[in-house]
Amino acid sequence: MTHLVARMRPYERTIFGEMSALATRLGAVNLGQGFPDTGGPDEVRRAAERAIAEGHGDQYPPAHGNPVLRAAVSEHQRRFYGIDVDPDVGVVVTTGATEAIAATILALVEPGQQVMVLDPYFDLYAATIALAGAERVAVPLTAHTLRPDLGAMRAALTPRTRMLVVNSPHNPTGVVFTRGEVEALAAFAFEHDLLVLADEAYEHLWFDDNVHVPLAGLPGMFERTVTVGSGGKSFSFTGWKVGWASGPPDLIGPVRVVRQHLSYVSGGPFQEAMAVGLHLPDTYFDGFRADLAAKRDRLCAGLTELGFRVIPPQGTYFATTDVRPLGFTDGDEFCRRVPHEAGVVAIPLSALSDHPEVSAPYARWAFCKRDAVLDEALRRLRGWLG
């Protein structure tokens, strides 16, 4: 890789690619990477099939997204959160939430400025911040409970800090920030005049009464926030790669400029189908959450019984466990042994972290899998630990 530009060398491999390759090689049950192993709602799939059959979207869709999808994003923000976004100038359709995040950082952060992320963090942020020539400031969540630590954030702030990335429901921990925590994060951003990237890819994946509170809905926050959504996560079609960003025109405008020079446009027929998804009735979203919550309960009950300390997942696809009660000192060592010895793959949180003093003891397990797959993983772990 001698030709790879220096600033991207630390990002040559991803832990997900590495662990999935290991799972394939060993025939291990892969609870590493977070994607569902069943498809999404039939209405949405049929809308994509219809769009292809009828030849809609065969050619480049409009540069900033199919107007039908932009209108659907705008209506969705109003329906669920009471947030008004202008579908003409306040929404941009992207190649997954991934591209929305990349375009936002590239468009709004100058080289040498700092982006604050809460650690552990989704690995894409680090790579994109590096690509932008910016600097990552990773502030650890609290050690035992994995909650935002405003004191640590305040201490890490510098005059060069330009943007705060807030991801709730939070990958990898499965934590959903409370209204109080979101208010504190908003006050922090407001007080220090930071732009905010609100990665809300898991906005519809919260459980029990851990309701998702969008940052842009708080007073004074819409004006400084780019909110990112993912059709892949909200409708279980991660392979379709449709996402979006919404916010005020003076932030979405720059994001549009950068994004049009990345993929230009993406997936015409899938954009049409995602608009159908966003208009689905509440029964879909309620049922989706209930299904995932049942999977969470299934996996977490098993992991608890095996002796892990499980951080109760309040949202997302993921359960985070402390491996120390089982006699391991380190989640990384645990995750490197368990595929070989038990035939199951999990992800060490330390791979998504600059702060081993907080992240080292944890391993992350994806529960967005068929019951038979979860049961087989637990059976193997029971045999290994047993």
Residues that bind ligand PLP (CB under 6 A): 96-98, 122, 167, 171, 199, 201, 230, 232-233, 238, 243
> Please, which residue, 167 or 321, has the CB nearer to ligand PLP?
167
DSSP 6-20: GGGGGGSS-HHHHHH
**Token pair belonging to 122:** 């989704």
CB of 271 to ligand PLP, least distance (A): 13
For residue 58, which phi and psi values (nearest 5 degrees)?
-70, -30
Torsion over CA of 257, 190, 233 and 72, rounded to 10 degrees? -60
CB of 67 to ligand PLP, least distance (A): 21
> Please, which residue, 318 or 328, has the CB nearer to ligand PLP?
318
> What is the tally of helices (H) and strands (E) in the chain?
14, 13
> Please, which residue, 69 or 381, has the CB nearer to ligand PLP?
69
The residue whose Cβ lies closest to ligand PLP is 96
CB of 86 to ligand PLP, least distance (A): 23
> Please, which residue, 235 or 328, has the CB nearer to ligand PLP?
235
> Please, which residue, 171 or 210, has the CB nearer to ligand PLP?
171
> Please, which residue, 19 or 201, has the CB nearer to ligand PLP?
201
CB of 60 to ligand PLP, least distance (A): 20
CB of 293 to ligand PLP, least distance (A): 18
| Among candidate residues 72, 46, 42, 78, the one with its CA nearest the CA of residue 279 | 72
> Please, which residue, 243 or 343, has the CB nearer to ligand PLP?
243
Q: Coil, helix or strand for 5?
A: coil
| Count of C-beta atoms within a 10 Å radius of residue 114 | 20
CB-based contact 189:118 (threshold 8 Å): no
CB of 239 to ligand PLP, least distance (A): 9
CB of 185 to ligand PLP, least distance (A): 16
CB of 277 to ligand PLP, least distance (A): 13
Distance from C-alpha of 242 to C-alpha of 68, rounded to nearest angstrom: 14
**Token pair belonging to 261:** 């020079």
User: Alpha helices of the chain — where are they, by DSSP H?
Assistant: 15-26, 42-53, 67-81, 96-108, 123-131, 150-156, 179-191, 231-235, 249-260, 268-278, 282-306, 331-341, 356-359, 371-385
In a 13 Å sphere around the CA of 109, the CA atoms on its Cβ side amount to 33
Q: Coil, helix or strand for 21?
A: helix
| Residues facing residue 310 across a β-bridge | 321
> Please, which residue, 162 or 364, has the CB nearer to ligand PLP?
364
Distance from C-alpha of 247 to C-alpha of 203, rounded to nearest angstrom: 16
CB-based contact 340:347 (threshold 8 Å): no
CB of 380 to ligand PLP, least distance (A): 25
> Please, which residue, 16 or 328, has the CB nearer to ligand PLP?
16
